[in-house]
Amino acid sequence: MKQVVFVCLGNICRSPMAEFVMKDLAKGYDIRVESRATSNWEHGNPIHPGTQRIFKRHAIAFDRQKRSQQISLKDLEVFDLIIGMDDENVVDLQRLSQGKYDDKIVIFRKDGVPDPWFTGDFEETYDLIKTGCEKWLAQLLS
């Protein structure tokens, strides 16, 4: 089983969006998909209403009980692929990794995924996440 974790700053907008889009695409494959935050700012909080609206609009199943959780060193050890949603997430992950798990840490896409917490544009973020997840899934299956 391959284990993948998407990581953003708050774990309420982008990384849970990637988690449930990927779970939808990867249905039937032996892949574990999770998401985490680099910060503890939103710890325990539910998925942002804007991201929940995206799931409903695009008929993507999601867990209403999902709560923001900060990534741990143990997570870096357990997951095979650790995908930061932007450059800052990758830098924060590398800081936590201290060189130990750097080979597993990658960026979701070269230019990063814009944060709808700031842009307000959840559809733009969804389009990039959908395209990106299709590519990551193809890579995981190859």
Interacting residues with ligand 4NP (CB under 6 A): 8-14, 41-42, 115, 117
CB of 73 to ligand 4NP, least distance (A): 20
Residue with the CB atom nearest ligand 4NP in the bound state? 10
Q: CB of residue 86 vs ligand 4NP: minimum separation in angstroms? A: 8
What minimum distance in Å lies between the beta carbon of 141 and ligand 4NP?
A: 26
Residues 6+ apart with CB under 8 A from 97: 76, 105
**Active-site residue among 13, 14, 36, 92?**
14
- Largest pairwise CA distance in the chain: 40
- Is residue 14 part of the annotated active site? The answer reads yes
Compute the distance between CA of residue 102 and CA of residue 59 in angstroms, rounded to an integer: 35
87 tagged catalytic: no
Residue nearer to ligand 4NP on the CB measure, 2 or 45: 45
CA-wise closest residue to 73 among 108, 105, 113, 120: 105
Catalytic position from the list 75, 86, 92, 115:
115
Q: Which is nearer to ligand 4NP, 8 or 26 (CB)?
A: 8
Quick one: the chain helix, strand, coil %, rounded to 5? 45, 15, 35
Contact between residue 13 and residue 91 where contact means Cβ atoms under 8 Å apart: no
Which active-site residues does the annotation give?
8, 14, 115
